[in-house]
């Protein structure tokens, strides 16, 4: 079974631009979560989508948004990029949402550099 | 407010010996705990997990122990191998929070040959 895939793997943008990142979950998985990893803040939860609905949102400004399609693929968008948005963005998928023993499997991440 | 803490940023162990990585949490609503291993520029790889109704879970060389009263969990790797050198994250999930994981800051494990 193929793992979680993320595209692109690397991205360079300038301040003020917007960016869209894509994530394809493991086949059959319906929940997709997004995380941001930075040296200062560690791994932080952005949001989770399940069956095309946002289920949870972390403590990030409204510039960060996402969506999920009927095939469970997900995109996240960051508008008006700031230097502090430079990070590794990780996508994780799991079969279900909300069950206790639900394990998430991560993709390789998209490294975003904002200049 | 850090709800999940890994107080040791790094740990160095000799090959063949035991590695013990520790994690503390504050939120009593957490009911599922996971350990992930991460190499630079890669996504975290799931290692092992434990439900709050258990106090121990074993998978090969990896064992996770949970002490609910102390809000503490630990990952034991026996025997440690050089390929285990990586950053290890503990993560916690709470009921009613969907699949949201709260991560600790990570511990860098170095296993010396």
Q: How confident is the model at residue A1 (pLDDT cuts 50, 70, 90)?
A: low
Q: What is the mean pLDDT of residues B91-108?
A: 90
- Percentage of residues of chain B with pLDDT beyond 90: 88
Q: Are A12 and A113 in contact (CB under 8 A)?
A: yes
A16 exposed, middle or buried (CB, 10 Å; 0-12, 13-18, 19+)?
exposed
The residue with greater pLDDT, A49 or B96, is A49
Closest CB to B100 among A4, A56, A100: A56
Q: How far apart are CA B79 and CA A80, in angstroms?
A: 49
Closest CB to B99 among A97, A106, A107: A97
pLDDT at residue A102, rounded to an integer: 82
Q: How far apart are CA A39 and CA A51, in angstroms?
A: 32
Burial B47-57 (b: 16+ CB within 10 A, else e): bbbbebeeeeb
- 3-state SS class at B83: helix
Interfacial residues of A (vs B; Cβ cutoff 8 Å): 4, 31, 33, 35, 42-45, 48, 50, 55-56, 58, 88, 90, 92, 94, 97-98, 100-109, 111
| Strand bridging mode B10-14 / B107-112 | parallel
pLDDT at residue A97, rounded to an integer: 80
- A48-102 pLDDT, tens digit per residue, is 999 999 998 999 999 999 999 999 999 999 999 999 999 999 999 999 887 777 8
Q: Which residues contact A83 (CB under 8 A, 6 or more apart)?
A: A15, A114, A115
Report the gap between the CA of A110 and the closest CA in chain B (Å): 9
Beta bridge partners of B62: B59, B77
- 3-state SS class at A84: helix
CA A1 → CA A5, A26, A27, distances in Å? 12, 7, 7
- A16-36 pLDDT, tens digit per residue, is 999 999 999 999 999 999 999
- 3-state SS class at B82: helix
- B16-65 pLDDT, tens digit per residue, is 999 999 999 999 999 999 999 999 878 999 999 999 999 999 999 999 99
- Percentage of residues of chain A with pLDDT beyond 90: 86
Q: What is the mean pLDDT of residues B8-14?
A: 96
**B43-B47-B49 Cα angle (round to 5):** 120
């Amino acid at each position: 079974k193929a793992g979680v895939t993320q595209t692109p793997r690397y991205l360079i943008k300038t301040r003020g631009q917007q960016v869209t990142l894509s994530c394809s979950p493991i086949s059959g998985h319906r929940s997709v979560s997004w995380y941001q990893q930075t040296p200062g803040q560690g791994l932080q939860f952005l949001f989770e989508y399940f069956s095309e609905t946002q289920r949870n949102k972390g403590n990030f400004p409204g510039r960060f948004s996402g969506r999920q399609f009927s095939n469970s693929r997900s995109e996240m968008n960051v508008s008006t990029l700031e230097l502090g948005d430079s990070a590794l963005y990780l996508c994780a998928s799991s079969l279900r949402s909300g069950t206790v023993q639900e394990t998430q499997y991560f993709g390789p991440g998209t490294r975003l550099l904002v200049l | 407010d850090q709800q999940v803490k890994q107080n040791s940023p790094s740990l160095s162990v000799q090959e063949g010996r035991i590695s013990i990585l520790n994690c503390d949490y504050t939120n009593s609503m957490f009911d599922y705990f996971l350990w992930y291993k991460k190499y630079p520029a890669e996504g975290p790889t799931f290692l092992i997990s434990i439900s709050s109704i258990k106090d121990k879970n074993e998978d090969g060389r990896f064992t996770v122990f949970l002490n609910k009263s102390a809000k503490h969990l630990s990952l034991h790797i026996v025997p440690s191998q050089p390929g285990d050198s990586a950053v290890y994250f503990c993560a916690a999930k709470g009921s009613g929070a969907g699949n949201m994981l709260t991560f600790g800051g990570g511990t860098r494990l170095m296993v010396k040959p």
